[in-house]
Structure 1
Amino acid sequence: MHYTTALAILAHGAAVLAAPAPSPATHTTTTASSAAPTSTGLSLTQQLFLADTAADRFNLLPEDKQFVFDFNQHQPNPGKGGELVAANRKTFPALVGTGAGMAVGRLGPCGMNTPHVHPRSVELQVVTQGRLIAEMVPENGVLDKDGQRRVITNTLEPFQMTPFYLGSVHTQFNPDCADAVFVASFTSEDFGTGQIADESFALSDNVLAAAFGQAVDGADIDKVRHAIPASIALGVEECLKKCGIPKRSL
């Protein structure tokens, strides 16, 4: 995607969303089992990491219910377009040693999970309700038939899956007027998330000017920076019109 087009999309996302961009911590939900340190001063997750053997880890998880994660809970400070609840080694300590994580996301009508990366994991995403338009941009050197940077775009129906490769930029959009739900598995207990727009516009003005050239006027940098959409944001004007959803003013 060209810089000019990308910035136009960001500006549109800003026009329909007033919520501030969340920090990476808002992509997880802390459970009672991991929130407070024990008498040793170490969290349960830290104790599990330090256990001498895998068998010793089970002694640190004496209750059967500690092996169940409830995705029915709600994400703190969700975006305007939906929410995502993540099971990682902090929110679900039983994952320590598994090398895996999982998340369940809900995108409301016209909701968008804005472009992001997972720095430590591949993601396999399955749609379980509604449909999603998924886009992924692989690494440098992956080109389409016209020699332009390739963007892999697919519409996922219920129980269809797509992979998002480690470090690839990807996004999902719900083009319909009913909720869409997806389940995502990860190849890491600490997959992490970085929103591209939020990270890019956190850089200094000089770096932004050099990177984007004339696409961003210097006088507008702060306006764009403070209007970055939240992780899951309302977007795409055609869907808003179809569903009768008014755009939000800055």
Structure 2
Amino acid sequence: MHFTTTVSVLILASLSNVLGVPTWSAPAVARAEDSGLSLTAKLFLADTAVDRFALLPDDKQFVFDFNTPQANPGKGGELVAANRKTFPALVGTGSGMAVGRIKPCGMNTLHVHPRATELQIVTKGRLVTAMTPENGVNKDGKRRVIQNTVTEYQMTPFYQGSVHTQFNPDCTDTIFVASFNSEDFGAGQVADETFAFGDDILGATFGQSLDGAEIDKVRAAIPASIAEGVEQCLMKCNIPKRSI
């Protein structure tokens, strides 16, 4: 015996009523008006783009000011990031941006962006950049390090998950603009993440090259996100070398 889809649904509905079994219904969706939600969360829950715009009634909510100082800048500079938390109008765009200022001899230490590729353009000064993409990217039998000196209005990509760094080799500030294909691109400083592990894991990773005392010394010396850098530059710019 064959039933049409409509008949089958009616029979199942009747059985559910007789047996006291609740019929299936779509799960309730939290409303954007729920109290306690951040504006970013409300924008995520909005049913349509039209509803998102209604949650942003002030035209000024569509402007992000990169002149706002970073809360905890590093000794070698600062980076101001526009992501979906700091700039809720980005929700739904799949994009983010950052503006960085690196002081003379400053270095943005080795880091990764876990959820985005970065396109970085230098707008003032120059940067020495370096990147290692992933396992298997080799040159002359060794892991390849892609290194360039990027000058004003030149751009370089840093691929999602790649380890990379930027260094200002000059005695004047360098400014760069970075775009990301994510509203929440994130960042992880490689040294800080590595030395957050226990001594047993670090010992197994580095073998005999570091003992326990040296691990603590290196861990304590990890710099902030953008830190003062290379000795030759410090000497050229008459910047006192910091002691560890």
Same-fold status (TM-score > 0.5): yes
Partner of 1:66: 61
Aligned counterpart for 1:86 among listed residues 77, 81, 85: 81
The CA deviation at 1:79 is 0.4
Selected match of 2:91 from 93, 96, 99: 96
1:164 matched to 2:155? The reply is no
Amino acid in structure 2 at the alignment position of 1:216: L
Three-state SS of the structure 2 residue aligned to 1:166 is coil
Consecutive unaligned residues of structure 1, counting only runs of 5 or more, are: 1-37
Could you tell me how far apart the structure 2 residues matched to 1:207 and 1:117 are?
A: 21
Q: Distance in 1 between matches of 2:106 and 2:118?
A: 20
Corresponding residue to 1:43 among 38, 56, 60? 38
User: Which ranges of structure 2 fall in alignment gaps of 5 or more residues?
Assistant: 1-32
State the shift of 1:206 in Å: 0.5
Root mean square deviation, CA, Å: 1.0
Where in structure 2 are the equivalents of 1:47-58 lying within 5 Å? 47-58=42-53
Q: CA separation in 1, counterparts of 2:202 and 2:98?
A: 32
Give 1:214 shift: 2.1
Paired with 2:74 and 2:209, the residues of 1 have a C-alpha distance of 27
SS in 2 for 1:116: strand
Instruction: Report SS of the residue matched to 1:207.
Output: helix
Residue number among 187, 199, 202 corresponding to 1:208 in the alignment = 202
Whether 1:241 and 2:235 are equivalent positions in the alignment is: yes
Q: Are 1:141 and 2:111 an aligned pair?
A: no
* Residue 180 of structure 1 pairs with residue 174 of structure 2: yes
Deviation at 1:109, TM superposition (A): 0.2
Superposed CA offset, 1:37-89 (max 9, x none): x9811110000000000110000000100000000011011100000000000
Give, in whole Å, the separation in 2 of the partners of 1:84 and 1:78: 7
Shift of 1:197: 0.1
* 2:225 aligned residue: 231
**SS in structure 2 opposite 1:47?**
helix
Amino acid at match of 1:69: F
Identity of counterpart residues, as a percentage? 75
Write the distance in 1 (CA, Å) between the matches of 2:174 and 2:213.
38
What do the CA deviations read for 1:141-166 (whole angstroms, capped 9, x no partner)?
A: 0001x210000000000000000001
Q: Which secondary structure state, in structure 1, belongs to the residue aligned with residue 143 of structure 2?
A: coil
Between the aligned partners of 1:214 and 1:237, the Cα distance in structure 2 is 27
Give the match for residue 29 of structure 2. Answer: none
1:53–1:39 CA distance, 2 compared to 1 (3 A): closer
For normalisation by structure 2, the TM-score amounts to 0.86
Query: How far apart are the structure 2 equivalents of 1:114 and 1:222?
Result: 19
Following the alignment from structure 2 to structure 1, what is the Cα–Cα distance between the partners of residues 196 and 81? 25
Match of 1:128 among 102, 123, 141: 123
Q: Runs (4+) of structure 1 moved beyond 3 Å?
A: none
Cα distance in 2 for residues equivalent to 1:83 and 1:110: 13
Report the TM-score, using the length of structure 1 for normalisation.
Answer: 0.83
Q: Give the AA of the match of 2:53.
A: F
> How big is the shift at 1:137?
0.4
The one-letter code of the counterpart of 1:229 is P
